[in-house]
Structure 1
């Protein structure tokens, strides 16, 4: 089972604590455990929402762009991992070991990826084959 683990924090707290060497060392040790266990496929931190933008479609189809920061947001995604685990329970156990910053409220949200077979009842084999071909091309392009 492949899962996305999103590291979430409060939007208003985004710039309250600057990363320290100790924080990096602690997270590096955790990431090393994930790699040694063979479950970490990818993972990175994200820059502050002040350096980002949101593209928003309203119900009329209008598209607007909202520049960061997103301090009004209750939660923002600060980083992520992609893990290959045997079950959601395994992912939860690994997430519970994640280091945290005591001054900040943090949340790890774990969401399983869809697998092609999840769509087999609603999508034709031809469409699934085209989707798989796109995924294969992406792997060829980016490894």
Structure 2
């Protein structure tokens, strides 16, 4: 099962400010990410620039996209980073989330919808296309240097 582990934004991250202990945090995060890579858990992850560097795209009918420049309100609902984890179940994903080396802040853990979630909604051919697409993504993904 794949999970999205979202790092929730803070007023500080939205101002583009790094924490005072950024050097320690980078070392600890590097070690944590290395552990997840070695365990075969980490598929992807990155920090994000503040929402002032972002765009919000809202659709008002097919083919009609309205783009709004950031920054966006309601900091508590914004993200400042993410990991995509590949875990056997929610308990394993939660165990990794609990180990994130943060002294403050918040995370959100959400399972990703896998192709099987659409099995009763679309044809088996479409489900298989999605499985093939995911397998191709994994095949082309950078391989960790161990």
Q: Residue in 2 aligned with 1:21?
A: 23
Whether the 8 Å contact between 2:16 and 2:49 is mirrored in structure 1 is no
Residues 33-75 of structure 1, C-alpha deviations (whole Å, 9 max, x = no match) = 212222111111111111111112358x964211112244432
Show structure 1 runs of 5+ residues with no match: none
Q: TM-score, normalised by structure 1?
A: 0.79
Q: Aligned equivalents of 1:87 and 1:138: distance in 2?
A: 21
1:85 equivalent to 2:84? Answer no
Aligned pairs, number: 139
Residues 103-126 of structure 1, C-alpha deviations (whole Å, 9 max, x = no match) = xxx221111122222222221112
Show structure 2 runs of 5+ residues with no match: none
Q: Aligned equivalents of 1:80 and 1:16: distance in 2?
A: 16
Cα RMSD of the aligned pairs, angstroms, is 2.7
Q: Aligned equivalents of 1:142 and 1:39: distance in 2?
A: 14
Q: TM-score, normalised by structure 2?
A: 0.77
Q: Aligned equivalents of 2:9 and 2:59: distance in 1?
A: 24
